[in-house]
């Protein structure tokens, strides 16, 4: 998504817990596109770090036009009874608290200024969670709800929408049993496979740009048809 935005003329802020990875991508953006790119270390599960990230963006660029809430995590657990309070809190903090705080901070200033677009990234676990991702699914369901509420709170100057992806073959898939996944995908996903990272770009560009100027409060399913939830 970062490269897609930069290739179409955007200056970008890249944030994650891993500053070196952010810096490497920022270097790639500058070299390929000539756009400005700011790398910031941020754990969005921490309220103060969300505030630091937002302030760093305003200090460097003077405004934020698009916010993409894409941080996520879903650690495995042996059983529901063995989910620790620390694991539960961490999952809710990263997947819900961070997007809430960043959207509240950035959306308020967008609404007071020239407007903008907020794009949340949920998951089909929000509507069809498996037994090994129940806290994660609950957080993502809440993120869908947050999308709808903030679309109304920040209207009409700020649009707030959500991408709801299915299984994507990003770095996380390196830990999967791919033979089992591919067999399950052929049975349960109408398109018969997992998504490639490049296949999220169209949805992100649509929701970030004026192409979606009459779209807010939408949950856009990008999952190969894996679930039949309303989108």
Q: Which residues are catalytic?
A: 136
Q: Are 115 and 123 in contact (CB under 8 A)?
A: no
Specify the length of the chain in residues: 231
Distance, CA of 184 to CA of 158 (rounded, Å):
39
């Amino acid at each position: 998504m970062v490269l897609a935005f930069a290739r179409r003329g955007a200056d970008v802020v890249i944030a994650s817990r891993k500053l070196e990875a952010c810096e490497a991508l920022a270097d790639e953006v500058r070299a390929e596109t000539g756009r400005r790119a700011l790398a910031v270390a941020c754990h969005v599960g921490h309220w103060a770090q969300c505030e630091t990230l937002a302030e760093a963006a305003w200090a460097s660029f003077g405004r934020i036009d698009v916010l993409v809430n894409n941080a996520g995590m879903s650690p495995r657990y042996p059983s529901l009874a063995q989910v620790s309070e620390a694991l539960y809190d961490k999952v809710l903090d990263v997947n819900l608290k961070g997007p809430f705080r960043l959207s509240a901070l950035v959306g308020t200033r967008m609404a007071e200024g020239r407007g903008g677009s907020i794009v949340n990234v949920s998951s089909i676990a929000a509507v069809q969670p498996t037994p090994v991702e129940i806290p994660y699914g609950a957080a993502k369901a809440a993120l869908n709800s947050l999308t709808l509420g903030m679309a109304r709170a920040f209207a009409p100057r700020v649009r707030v929408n959500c991408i709801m992806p299915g299984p994507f073959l990003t770095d996380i898939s390196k830990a999967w049993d791919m033979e089992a996944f591919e067999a399950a995908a052929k049975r349960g996903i109408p398109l018969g496979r997992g998504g490639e990272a490049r296949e999220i770009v169209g949805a992100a560009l649509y929701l970030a740009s004026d192409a979606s100027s009459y779209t807010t409060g939408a949950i856009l399913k990008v999952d190969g048809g894996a679930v039949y939830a309303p989108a």
